[in-house]
């Protein structure tokens, strides 16, 4: 039986990954690590893992990776581990500007602890959730993995640091390290601080949504199921020992276009409150995914309208929790 450790497993992407892995293969055991960070309501994270808590192949550890030493981790996880999928992080570009030290502690020290744990346990496969935010102020679209990185937020800099830590441990200890740069992931279980979740919640409640700038900023929105398929392919990847790979949808959609699409799904017009663009936000993200296609056979297939519809249905199904969380 394969044994995977998934950090941040009660969060948005982590819980979708675990659900898919458990559905795909009864021969996979998952150890999920999460600390229920109060960045958003722990009730939502409990909802995320509710369906597989009773699965005998799932175990949950409530731990903070930033203060849990590799030796302590090894006491909690005594059996062999085939791969670490490290998704846990302190999230959010704008909050990182207000409290950069907290982001260093969780995103850099936490990653260091996990890499030391991997070395101690002789774990050969380490998949790291990086971010498109590392590209920063770069207008060479679409972004390729070998672009010069120019991050403009503490959050982005911590993700770049994680990629470099992985390179060090690959060279020193032979750990295969695959960094996946995610591009604006959305879908069921999406965090409540992210635009699509906030917009749909506000529109349905008849409340205004906040639009930073004139709506011309754009993002490469990627549906979570497509991201999960890329992660699973990275878990199985064995050809080289260190790679950085974009996981996006390979087209960029403006904020104005996104709002229109959300209005169509929700069946209501948005009340828009316009504010200036925010420090730390880039104007556009746009992934070149040719490397992901070549190495991981990555083929994103979810159109925005279909992905928004799936999120809308999930939101409606769980709105009693989501509206009160």
* Residue 24 forms part of a structural domain: yes
Q: Is it the case that residue 152 has pLDDT exceeding 90?
A: yes
* pLDDT for the residue numbered 296: 98
Q: Is it the case that residue 169 has pLDDT exceeding 90?
A: yes
Phi, psi torsion values for 49, nearest 5 degrees? -105, 5
Phi, psi torsion values for 70, nearest 5 degrees? -55, -35
* Residue 277 forms part of a structural domain: no
Distance CA 317, CA 310 (A): 11
* pLDDT for the residue numbered 9: 98
* Residue 309 forms part of a structural domain: no
pLDDT one-digit tens code per residue, 93-114:
999 999 999 999 999 999 999 9
**How many domains does the chain divide into?**
1
Distance CA 101, CA 171 (A): 28
Q: Compute the average pLDDT of residues 173-194.
A: 97
Supply the CATH number for residue 80's domain: 3.40.50.720
Q: Is it the case that residue 325 has pLDDT exceeding 80?
A: no
Q: Is it the case that residue 60 has pLDDT exceeding 90?
A: yes
Q: Is it the case that residue 278 has pLDDT exceeding 90?
A: no
* Residue 244 forms part of a structural domain: yes
* pLDDT for the residue numbered 282: 86
Residues annotated as catalytic are 155
Of residues 46, 51, 86, the one with CA closest to residue 65: 86
Specify the 3-state DSSP secondary structure of 275. Answer: strand
The range of the structural domain enclosing residue 158 comes to: 2-185+222-248+284-301
pLDDT one-digit tens code per residue, 194-244:
999 999 999 999 999 999 999 999 999 999 999 999 999 999 999 999 999
* Residue 34 forms part of a structural domain: yes
* pLDDT for the residue numbered 281: 84
* pLDDT for the residue numbered 26: 78
The pLDDT mean for the chain works out to 96
* Residue 236 forms part of a structural domain: yes
Q: Compute the average pLDDT of residues 296-316.
A: 97
* Residue 261 forms part of a structural domain: no
* pLDDT for the residue numbered 22: 95
Phi, psi torsion values for 322, nearest 5 degrees? -70, -35
* pLDDT for the residue numbered 70: 97
* Residue 273 forms part of a structural domain: no
Distance CA 206, CA 208 (A): 7
Asked if 13 and 182 touch (Cβ cutoff 8 Å), the reply is: yes
What angle is formed at CA 133 by the lines to CA 116 and CA 17, rounded to 5 degrees? 60
pLDDT one-digit tens code per residue, 12-42:
999 999 999 999 877 999 999 999 998 899 9
């Amino acid at each position: 039986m394969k044994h995977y450790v998934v950090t941040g497993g009660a969060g948005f992407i982590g819980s979708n990954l675990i659900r898919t892995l458990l559905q795909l293969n009864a021969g996979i055991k998952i150890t999920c690590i999460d600390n229920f960070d109060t960045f958003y309501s722990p009730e939502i994270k409990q909802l995320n893992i509710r369906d597989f808590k009773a699965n005998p192949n799932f175990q949950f550890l409530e731990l903070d990776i930033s203060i849990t030493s590799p030796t302590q981790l090894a006491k909690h996880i005594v059996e062999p581990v085939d791969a670490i999928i490290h998704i846990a992080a302190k999230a959010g570009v704008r909050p990182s500007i207000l409290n950069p030290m907290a982001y260093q502690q969780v995103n850099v020290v936490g990653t260091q602890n996990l890499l030391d744990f991997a070395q101690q346990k002789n774990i050969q496969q380490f998949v790291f959730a990086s971010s498109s935010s590392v590209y920063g102020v770069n207008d060479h679209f679409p972004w390729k993995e070998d672009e010069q990185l120019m991050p403009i937020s503490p959050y982005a800099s911590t993700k770049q640091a994680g990629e470099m830590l992985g390179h060090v441990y690959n060279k020193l200890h032979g750990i295969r390290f695959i960094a996946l740069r995610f591009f604006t992931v959305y879908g069921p279980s999406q965090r409540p601080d992210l635009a699509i979740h906030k917009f749909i919640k506000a529109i349905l409640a008849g409340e205004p949504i906040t639009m930073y700038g004139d709506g011309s900023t754009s993002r490469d929105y990627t549906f979570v199921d497509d991201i999960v398929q890329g992660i699973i392919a990275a878990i199985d990847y064995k050809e080289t020992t260190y790679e950085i790979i974009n996981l996006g949808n390979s087209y960029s959609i403006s904020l104005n276009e996104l709002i229109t699409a959300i209005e169509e799904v929700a069946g209501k017009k948005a009340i828009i409150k316009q504010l200036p663009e925010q420090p730390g936000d880039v104007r556009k993200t746009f992934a070149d995914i040719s490397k992901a296609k070549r190495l991981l056979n990555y083929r994103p297939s979810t159109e925005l309208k279909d992905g928004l519809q799936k999120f809308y249905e999930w939101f409606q199904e769980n709105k009693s929790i989501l509206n009160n969380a």
